[in-house]
Amino acid sequence: MESKLRVEVLDFTDNALALIYAACRQCYSAGFAGDIAVESSKDPQKQADFVRQVAAAGHESPLEHVKCTFAIGGVSRALTHQLVRHRLASYSQQSQRYVKASPFEYIVPPSIDTDADMRAMYIETMDRIQDSYDRLTQAFADKGIKGERANQDARYVLPQAAASSIVVTMNCRELIHFFGERCCSRAQWEIRNVADKMLEQCRQRLPAVFEGAGPKCLNLGFCPEGEKFTCGRMPAKQTMKHEC
C-alpha cells in the first residue's frame, strides 16, 4: 500500500535562544555564561537580534549547543540512504529485520503517479514483490524459521521504494548545512520535500537562526554547482565578475 510523508518535531532544546546567546557572549566576555543567561533572559528581543547577527556573520559554533529531533515517516529507503550520509547527526531507523513487511508500504514518485500507465506498471511491480516476500517468509516458516531469522533474508527482495520511519537528531549548525544542500532545487525530490518541512518547523521555533536558512545559493549570492548544473535561480560563479 502507498505511504504518505510525515515530519514532526519530537524535541527541541529548551530556551534555545538564550542558550545560543549565552554561549556566543561567553566567547567575548570576561563574565560567566550562567550569569549572562540570567541577565539576558529579561530581554528576549535583545537575544534574538544578537543571535540573528551572529548567524548571519557565520559564527556558527554556538549553534551546536542547540539540537532538534525529528520523527520522519512515510519515506523510502532510497531517501534514508541519502539522509544518513549527513554524518553529524544521530539516527534510529525502523528495522526490516524485526518489523515484518506484510504488507509493506511504499512510496510512489510524482513522475510515475501522474502517468496512469506508469503508475499501473509500478503498482503491479510492488504487488509482485509483496507476493515474493510473503512466499519466502512462508517457505521459511515451513522450515520452522520465523521472526527476524526469516525477515532478515526475505527482506533482500524489498525495493528501495519500501517505506521506512526514522528518528533524526541534528544540531542547528548541521541543520543549516543540511538545508543548504537538500533544499536546493537540484536535490532529489523526496529528500528536498523532507528538508523543506524540517526547515519550516525550525523557522517556527527559532526564526533568529533559521529565517535565512535554505539553499546555499541564497547566502552565497551565486550557484556553486557551476554553469552546467545551475537551475538559473542565481548566476553561476564562473559568470560573475570579480572586482579587485
Q: Which three cell numbers stand for residue 217?
A: 545559493
For residues 184-195, average pLDDT: 96
pLDDT bucket at 236, cuts 50 / 70 / 90: confident
Q: Hey, which residues does 163 pair with through a beta bridge?
A: 76
The per-residue pLDDT of the chain, averaged, comes to 92
Instruction: Compute the half-sphere exposure of residue 190: CA atoms within 13 Å on the CB side of its CA.
Output: 26
Distances (CA, A) of 3 to 94, 169, 172, 192: 15, 23, 29, 17
Residue 223: the pLDDT is: 85
Burial code (b: 16+ CB inside 10 Å, e: under 16) for 103-114 equals: ebbbbbbeebee
- Is the pLDDT at 159 greater than 90? The verdict is yes
My answer on whether 128 and 228 are in the same domain is no
My answer on whether 27 and 71 are in the same domain is yes
For residues 204-225, average pLDDT: 89
Residue 35: the pLDDT is: 81
Element (H, E) at 175: helix 172-182
Provide Rg for the chain, Cα atoms.
23
My answer on whether 193 and 236 are in the same domain is no
101 in a structural domain = no
Number of domains in the chain: 3
- Taking the complete model, does pTM exceed 0.85, yes or no? yes
Alpha-carbon span 74 to 178, nearest angstrom: 20
Element (H, E) at 142: helix 116-142
99 in a structural domain = no
Q: Please indicate whether residue 91 or residue 18 has the higher confidence score (pLDDT).
A: 91
- Is the pLDDT at 244 greater than 50? The verdict is no
Alpha-carbon span 13 to 199, nearest angstrom: 16
My answer on whether 193 and 240 are in the same domain is no
182: annotated active-site residue: yes
My answer on whether 115 and 56 are in the same domain is no
Residue whose entry in the numeric block shows the C-alpha cell 529507503:
77
My answer on whether 19 and 84 are in the same domain is yes
Closest to 167 measured CA to CA, from 93, 95, 98? 93
Catalytic residue among 85, 135, 182, 186: 182
Residue 136: the pLDDT is: 98
pLDDT digits (tens, 9 = 90+) for 44-97: 888 899 899 888 888 899 999 999 999 999 999 999 999 999 999 999 999 999
Q: Which three cell numbers stand for residue 60?
A: 556558527
For residues 135-147, average pLDDT: 97
Domain around 47: 6-92+163-213
143 in a structural domain = yes
pLDDT bucket at 242, cuts 50 / 70 / 90: low
